[in-house]
Structure 1
Amino acid sequence: MVAFHASALDGVARNPALPTPLLLRLLASGADGDRPPRDVLHRPGLPGPAVELILAHPHPGARIGFATSARAEPAQRARLADDPSPKVRAALAHGPEVYEPRTKVAPLPDAACARLLDDPDPSVREALLESPHLAPSFVASMATHHRGAARREAVRAWPALSAGERSALLADPDPEVRRAAELQECRRDARMTAALLRDPKSAAGALRRGLLDRAVAERCVAERTHLAALAENPSLPADLVERLAVDPDEAVRLAVSLRPELDETRRMAVDFTAGDLDRGNGVWWVRDGLADPEVVRRAATSAHPLLRRAAARIPHLPSDLLRLLARVEDPVVDNLLGIHHPDAPEEVLMRVFARLGGTFSAWMAETHPRFPREGLATRYANHPDGNHRRLAVRDPAATPELIERLSHDPVVRTRQAATLDPRLPLHRLREALLVPELASSAGANPALPEDEMAAVLDRAGVPA
């Protein structure tokens, strides 16, 4: 019964219909040393009394759970910046771990970030500088910070920095800060590029983006110095580009094939091989040019698979380019459209679902705004594959009788999907609470009566 209690309790914790009194009861359950269920801490739109309970909770795990919630308001999470536990402050500083590409995390207010950046515990400061959720304005503000690590991170905001701030970073007393700044400035300074090439730590980066004198470029080609990086360099003379286009190294030829100045005829004349799983996220000029419609169009209409894949990652593709990419016979393009594009056509989503199955397909079916719903019961209720039978639960026209039948399906994921559906007859929902692999889904079903939710808390030993 213990496993049943824990599983059902987890379901109730994420039940969208959980009444506030039971929510507060769950949150207070850790007062004697236990952490409340994670799904309670990560619920969207927690009421004020619940937030206050969490912020004052004696178990640091409760406060850590709230600090890492992608659904909590930044101003609410920011109140943990003065938490007595450095583990809580470090969790807040780094922010939520986001596994769903379409989930956007609002950054903490700059004032809270400033306090965390000057935290007495180094683990908190490091966590903040490693956070992927910092506001661009705060990143730029670190250019004048008294800690070198902060100034080094500020270099990432190079285009937004003033001329004075750039000059100061180029003359910074910290060599790591200077190197990071020089790798930005060398794009327009050939002498700085040449100096960076003498440092093994910066040579590849300087060759990839730095402004090159012809003599330096010829020497690097002759000495085969970081040729794949050199092949990306925008200032590489055209005749050296042609030489690298026939280099024996496959990685060098691939880098040449992705150069932005090549027309389609020249690009596809390069003998390159694109990896079957390469998603094209390393094509810098597409990544850096997302605001330029011409860049987006060139990538999407290219015959180069990595350019098409880079374009498929763009969530604001014009409709004609979206339709074009939807017709490309490339599973990676399909996957990327399904992950990143809110308007991906239904046929693309269904191809991805049929091909991949498992957790990814379930996530996409549940979260993608264009994933189909109508007609799925007729098409898939009797499908030989359980992954497809689960789709029938999504159909608004599915009857309670069908939902109940699918709650007995041989495939556990299909049974769980049916058990989670509010159309499941109440007698079967109560029965499912006693089935270990269905108890969590039954507990999360919004049709579960309040007294049944309270009974789950009672049986799990949650204090009243």
Structure 2
Amino acid sequence: MVAFHASALDGVARNPALPTALLLRLLAFDGGGDGPPRHALQRTGLPGAAVAVILARTNPRARIGFAMSAGAEPAQRARLADDPSSKVRAALAYGPEWHDPRTTVAPLPDEVCARLLDDPHPAVRTALLDSPLLAPPFVASLATHRDPAARRRAARAWETLRPEDRPALLADPDPEVRRVAALGECRRDARVTAELLRDPASVAEALRRGLLHRADAERCVAERTHLASLAENPSLPADLVERLAADPDGTVRLAVSLRPELDEARRTAIDFTVGDRDRGDGVRWVRDGLADPEVLRRAATSAHPLLRRAAARSPHLPPDLLRLLARVEDPMLEVLLGIHHPDAPEEVLMRVYARLGGTFSAWMAETHPRFPREGLAARYADHPDGTYRRLAVRDPAATPELIERLSRDPVVRTRQAAAGDPRLPLHRLREALHEPELAFSAGANPALPEAEMATVLTRAGVPA
């Protein structure tokens, strides 16, 4: 099979206008042992007949692809819980590897997770416990499970556990369960913190989060033990905070500058440096409060770049704070607003796109629902930069003649954008199917006639 035919087939598999009859034909395709294209397996809203075809496939690769679909309903994926292949069951247990961060992937039903946790194959059990998609109530229910690995997962979600389940985990026969449980409990018990400080594997985290005896804090300062972690500790005495604020280590001073109790005058008096690429992920009190209006207001109105960036990760920013952050001249903050906030201003999205064209962040900005559309053809169709000419395709007023011209643009990504636009004249769309760089976009074009889709399948060797 010629390479660009395979590319066209992948595009057709993704085409939102693909008729069910052709979809079923495609899903039954073996593809030389590789199974049907991934886009066919992971379409959103697959009809029941399509799911039945996938489940009946003897090649486990197809079932694995479906098991990891972010577009499938959990109840559809759950039908693989008794699959004969442990690799399929493990893929189901872990779930989708990637999905648009602006969307939510629903977890599998609790009863299905429970069955996978009791799977006879250890890889399936491990995949489930490693999955980021487990529902919090299910994770909490693992506190009394017979498998110590499950109890460890529960202990990592310490604050969601029932108080009556915690003592048993602290006294668990498995030492790692006890250690993880102690890291949760140390926030409220200085004796537990002191015990963890004797464990080299736990010292840094215990210093970061645990309730500290003053003597232990003074000793760590004197011995310069994990000072950047210690500088985050909520219970660190104020005088020791002041000492660390002047520490010769810049990472220590930066950690102090992010403490929640500091007022703005004290915070800005600390000599710290923030990296251009630091997203503020590590500011735990803001990260844990992304839905808390008070936390968001304190962080967003701060002069500290990392606090503002941490707040920009919240989709719950009220309009006044969103406007405030949108006026800050900080490229990383703009990227975070573009990724996380549903009402990110158009001008912010345009700046991200202009600055980072070709990157994931630019793609997130360009596909944001608020990215501008009207007027782009008039402004950018003849721009000297092909990255901007591509924007003209987004304009509802762009004519078929302009779309065809852009499908022949010197810049390949501009040509690809035009090849996927339903306004592209049919004769040019047919041509694009035979151009290697455009075949995928043309195959995915929703204006591609059903007969042309069928021809792509036939030329790729998909049986009728």
TM range (shorter): over 0.9
CA distance in 2, matches of 1:267, 1:44: 48
Determine the structure 2 residue equivalent to 1:288.
Answer: 288
Return the offset for 1:366.
Answer: 4.8
Return the offset for 1:163.
Answer: 2.1
CA distance in 1, matches of 2:68, 2:300: 36
Determine the structure 2 residue equivalent to 1:380.
Answer: 380
CA contact (8 A) 2:335 2:352 kept: yes
Shift of the 31–257 alpha-carbon distance from structure 1 to 2, 3 Å rule, reads closer
Return the offset for 1:431.
Answer: 1.2
**What whole-Å deviation, never above 9, does each CA across 1:100-126 have from its counterpart, x for those lacking one?**
321311100011111111111111111
Determine the structure 1 residue equivalent to 2:246.
Answer: 246
CA contact (8 A) 1:429 1:448 kept: yes
Return the offset for 1:210.
Answer: 0.8
Return the offset for 1:34.
Answer: 4.0
**What whole-Å deviation, never above 9, does each CA across 1:68-120 have from its counterpart, x for those lacking one?**
00000001101111100011011111100125321311100011111111111
SS in 1 for 2:28: helix
Return the offset for 1:32.
Answer: 7.7
1:131 matches 2:136:
no
Once the two structures are superposed, the pairs formed by residues 26-175 of structure 1 within 5 Å of their partners are: 26-30=26-30, 33-175=33-175
Determine the structure 2 residue equivalent to 1:256.
Answer: 256
Return the offset for 1:58.
Answer: 1.1
CA contact (8 A) 1:296 1:311 kept: yes
CA distance in 2, matches of 1:365, 1:182: 42
SS in 2 for 1:50: helix
Determine the structure 2 residue equivalent to 1:229.
Answer: 229
Shift of the 204–32 alpha-carbon distance from structure 1 to 2, 3 Å rule, reads closer
Return the offset for 1:31.
Answer: 8.8
CA RMSD of aligned residues (A): 1.2
SS in 2 for 1:315: coil
CA contact (8 A) 1:364 1:371 kept: no
TM-score by length of 1: 0.98
| Structure 2 residue identity aligned to 1:375 | G
Once the two structures are superposed, the pairs formed by residues 299-338 of structure 1 within 5 Å of their partners are: 299-338=299-338
Return the offset for 1:284.
Answer: 0.7
CA contact (8 A) 2:339 2:365 kept: no
CA contact (8 A) 2:12 2:18 kept: yes
1:440 matches 2:433:
no
Return the offset for 1:360.
Answer: 2.5
Determine the structure 2 residue equivalent to 1:194.
Answer: 194
CA distance in 2, matches of 1:32, 1:47: 25
CA distance in 2, matches of 1:399, 1:119: 57
- The structure where helix makes up a greater share of residues is 1
Segments of structure 1 that go 5 or more residues without pairing to the other structure are none
Determine the structure 2 residue equivalent to 1:178.
Answer: 178
| Structure 1 residue identity aligned to 2:302 | S
**What whole-Å deviation, never above 9, does each CA across 1:340-366 have from its counterpart, x for those lacking one?**
111000000000000000142662255
CA contact (8 A) 1:315 1:342 kept: yes
CA contact (8 A) 2:290 2:296 kept: yes
User: 157-166 or 219-228, which moves further after superposition?
Assistant: 157-166
CA contact (8 A) 1:422 1:445 kept: yes
**What whole-Å deviation, never above 9, does each CA across 1:133-188 have from its counterpart, x for those lacking one?**
01001100110110111100001322222222101101100000001111111111
Determine the structure 2 residue equivalent to 1:364.
Answer: 364
**What whole-Å deviation, never above 9, does each CA across 1:357-408 have from its counterpart, x for those lacking one?**
0142662255211001110000110011101100000000000000000000
Determine the structure 2 residue equivalent to 1:419.
Answer: 419
Shift of the 282–34 alpha-carbon distance from structure 1 to 2, 3 Å rule, reads closer
Return the offset for 1:198.
Answer: 0.6
SS in 2 for 1:66: helix
Shift of the 316–70 alpha-carbon distance from structure 1 to 2, 3 Å rule, reads same
Return the offset for 1:258.
Answer: 0.5
Return the offset for 1:60.
Answer: 0.5
CA distance in 1, matches of 2:441, 2:31: 27
CA distance in 1, matches of 2:462, 2:43: 19
CA contact (8 A) 2:4 2:439 kept: yes
The percentage of aligned residue pairs carrying the same residue is 81
SS in 1 for 2:30: helix
Return the offset for 1:275.
Answer: 1.3
CA distance in 1, matches of 2:311, 2:435: 46
1:452 matches 2:449:
no
CA contact (8 A) 2:67 2:88 kept: yes
Segments of structure 2 that go 5 or more residues without pairing to the other structure are none
CA contact (8 A) 2:352 2:365 kept: no
TM-score by length of 2: 0.98
Return the offset for 1:223.
Answer: 1.0
Determine the structure 1 residue equivalent to 2:278.
Answer: 278
Deviating above 6 A after TM superposition, structure 1's stretches of 4 or more consecutive aligned residues are none
